[in-house]
Structure 1
């Protein structure tokens, strides 16, 4: 079945009428902020994809009609903000490359997850990589522009990037970098910004890696994406005899995802988290024991370095015991160690080092309190 991937570029505005006409003939997938634009135009996608993990994504989604979200399935990475999946009808999560904690989660239960190697720089990169991985044969990119005619038309005009007067809500070029020209999808050139151009080049790598596996159409007047076929507008798809009329689009989870993903049950995940919390709690308690006595807090710089060596031994032993808990503590431990070693030989060391160790002790106490709370819940 054909899939339309909807980004929030300026070409989306031109395609709104055609999307309404084709709605029941395709699987419609919105990406990131494009969801609000579609809902503003009374179009409900079958699936929505999010890549951003931060809390502002949750804030943005909470501004949309809750009843509409409950009719849409979410596709996202396993690192998505934990409060986001509950907003949707269902959440289908997958892994991206170079994610050791996710990998260890699956390995601990002798399962495997489809790994996405080309899922960045934008959510549309994630969408295309996923669909190619799932062997979709016809993919139409709408509003995946990576470019625009003028700086005042950087996204769809009915999107939340513009106010009621049609003005950009912030200085787009100041925020995202100076514009420059690239080849346009239809003819001539269009403007882009560094982030969009990076995303375009990464999408071209993805298409090159999957060359011959699918036909991907770039619809509209954005930037040219090598590896795609150009379509000026969506109505041309109506002349494509390969596009069937389907009243009830196939549910991705049952038709495709279950064939490619060995899904973890909620019990698997809860057990994994519980085991991780117990060990993290034990390790944090051990670190607190190193730094919590008054003599150690006020100790000379050289004594601090000796305690740091003990801390490092604990950390290396943890790496063997649990790579997941090691990853959770490694960055903070190494940063604290770096600070102490850097300032240990300076003239103000006797003043600075005790302050560092006190802040470190307070941070460990904060970690420990949070871990205790998590274990109780």
Structure 2
């Protein structure tokens, strides 16, 4: 084993490797002995006196690569239909592009190339160099369960040419070292939704060796496939959230919730309440334990509790859409909301906080308003994408280490029953609510927490992915899934009738009061929103200027130059959240532009070569012609704030 090469590679890959891994590998003694060498062409590993490769590792790897390149396993998108009623700027661009090229024949499979190489199992690394040399991709993602193999790969293979080649393509190397297929793929989901998300179609999947972990991880990747291609945002949404945040933060005083290390640990369970169908049989138990727990409700879960005489201590809302206010209005017509504390994103409809006596805001991650206004404060990671994600995440931030999940079904065992019978979705007299506000049909089969099959949708699966990553990030906490819905890794599934909740040593009301007292109240001047909004609007106009200039210099008849021109403007490659006007401007536009580039990447490699130039010109022209639409939306936002 070459110790000098190991140290050189560790230093080279320091930014890509998990923290502390270098020290761990230095002390690790692999359970293999090495015979031969790479230079002599007879390298092999011996375990229990027997070789692991026949005839040797070099020959084995060459034959494996040859077979793979003859028929590579790739990851393909499906071109879904566009909602003809959608009016967003990205929707209009995509509609125009598709309309202009109706009737063109598309190849089932794209040409070579994709955004990623998913390498399931590094092995001893011999397959890496030929794959990097012969496949066209940007980011390399290594999923490995064995630190021993990683150490061998870093001791036997010089990674410098691999890093140089990937860096020259504008790519990065990511390592996911884990022994849980669920946890590994949840980490992978977050990496995929990174800088080259638009190029996901056609990515490569290579499995170096077989093991229960790797086989399970590949199967899990196929399961989460429906949620991987979804958009990362919309210009209109970002403008709405910016407008809402300005309105909400200009009021006050209000509570401000973020992670703090000095909050007390609470000795009572937190009940996290959603509105999945399975909660309908659990309200009596929740009522029975009411004086022993603190209750966090999410979204339409509030109405079910109040219908059954149970008042939550904290209620959570996050979405910026007007139907959140509409749903709460229907609940308020049935019940008194006084005394319930609201935990909400700064970006919610400003009418929502007005319905509650006590309001606590938090900064939601990966939205432009957070980047613009949060300053030195960090958002709470994994508090999205659903209100129940927020409820559990808030309980963790407030010092509750034991969580019991009710009504967090993330689907249903009956595809025609998407929510609780006590939810506004069911009780409303408005047909749009009864239809689930046009949610997709429950059609994706997933494993049930207590057995059987649960039918889900992509947005619920994304919520599950964030739950699983949240639970993995807080191993000191206990998560009991009392819902009879989708299986959530990191939880203990339990029928609540088998659960015992001990009496609290202190009155719950005192614990809730202490919890609220540990949340600081601040005034509207704290976040300097007027000054920071001015900085944001300047950065957003500069972003649009840069996009116009980049497109004016880009050949319009090929997709690659178009992507290379726009990618630096939508690249949000930092893993550490950084709040700045530039980051806020990028987040305003990257979702919409990314969707259009995703469509361009999909179609440009499937269209007949003779039609490709015309298609790329249409794509280029559509973006150029709609940048002024984005600027008009920015100007409207400015004028609504008395600026511009």
Length-normalised TM-score, structure 1: 0.69
Give the 5 Å matches for 1:29-178: 29-65=296-332, 68-99=336-367, 101-107=369-375, 111-113=376-378, 115-162=379-426, 169-170=434-435, 175-178=440-443
**Closer/same/farther in 2, CA of residues 138 and 54 from structure 1, 3 Å limit:** same
2:524 to 249, 254, 266: 266
Structure in which a larger fraction of residues adopt helix: 1
* SS of corresponding position for 1:156: coil
> How far has the Cα of 1:364 moved from its partner?
4.9
**Closer/same/farther in 2, CA of residues 177 and 133 from structure 1, 3 Å limit:** same
> How far has the Cα of 1:102 moved from its partner?
1.8
* SS of corresponding position for 2:426: coil
> How far has the Cα of 1:39 moved from its partner?
2.1
Say whether the 8 Å CA contact 2:372–2:536 is kept in structure 1.
no
* SS of corresponding position for 1:217: strand
Deviations along 1:207-243, one digit per CA (max 9) or x if unpaired, are 12211x12222114333333223331257334x3667
Say whether the 8 Å CA contact 1:44–1:68 is kept in structure 2.
no
**Closer/same/farther in 2, CA of residues 123 and 282 from structure 1, 3 Å limit:** closer
* SS of corresponding position for 1:42: coil
Distance of 2:588 and 2:462 partners within structure 1: 32
Does 2:226 align with 1:226? no
Deviations along 1:161-206, one digit per CA (max 9) or x if unpaired, are 33599x9933899823414241333xx3132213334433432222
Distance of 1:363 and 1:218 partners within structure 2: 44
Does 2:278 align with 1:20? no
> How far has the Cα of 1:30 moved from its partner?
0.8
> How far has the Cα of 1:324 moved from its partner?
6.5
> How far has the Cα of 1:90 moved from its partner?
1.8
* SS of corresponding position for 2:500: helix
1:182 to 423, 435, 447: 447
> How far has the Cα of 1:159 moved from its partner?
1.9
Give the 5 Å matches for 1:276-291: 276-277=533-534, 280=537
Say whether the 8 Å CA contact 1:147–1:191 is kept in structure 2.
yes
* SS of corresponding position for 1:251: helix
* SS of corresponding position for 1:176: coil
Number of corresponding residues: 338
Match of 2:222 in 1: none
Distance of 2:421 and 2:592 partners within structure 1: 47
* SS of corresponding position for 1:74: strand
Say whether the 8 Å CA contact 1:8–1:143 is kept in structure 2.
yes
Say whether the 8 Å CA contact 1:106–1:264 is kept in structure 2.
no
Distance of 1:84 and 1:192 partners within structure 2: 31
Say whether the 8 Å CA contact 2:296–2:316 is kept in structure 1.
yes
Length-normalised TM-score, structure 2: 0.43
**Closer/same/farther in 2, CA of residues 251 and 164 from structure 1, 3 Å limit:** same
Distance of 2:534 and 2:522 partners within structure 1: 19
* SS of corresponding position for 2:512: coil
> How far has the Cα of 1:119 moved from its partner?
2.2
Say whether the 8 Å CA contact 1:274–1:375 is kept in structure 2.
no
Give the 5 Å matches for 1:361-372: 364=631, 367-368=634-635, 371-372=638-639
Give the 5 Å matches for 1:277-356: 277=534, 280=537, 305=552, 322-323=581-582, 326-327=585-586
Match of 2:642 in 1: 375
> How far has the Cα of 1:7 moved from its partner?
0.8
Distance of 2:631 and 2:271 partners within structure 1: 48
Say whether the 8 Å CA contact 1:26–1:246 is kept in structure 2.
yes
Distance of 1:96 and 1:103 partners within structure 2: 9
**Closer/same/farther in 2, CA of residues 282 and 62 from structure 1, 3 Å limit:** same
**Closer/same/farther in 2, CA of residues 160 and 266 from structure 1, 3 Å limit:** same
Say whether the 8 Å CA contact 2:338–2:357 is kept in structure 1.
yes
> How far has the Cα of 1:329 moved from its partner?
7.2
Say whether the 8 Å CA contact 2:330–2:424 is kept in structure 1.
no
Say whether the 8 Å CA contact 2:367–2:587 is kept in structure 1.
no
* SS of corresponding position for 1:162: helix
Say whether the 8 Å CA contact 2:278–2:407 is kept in structure 1.
yes
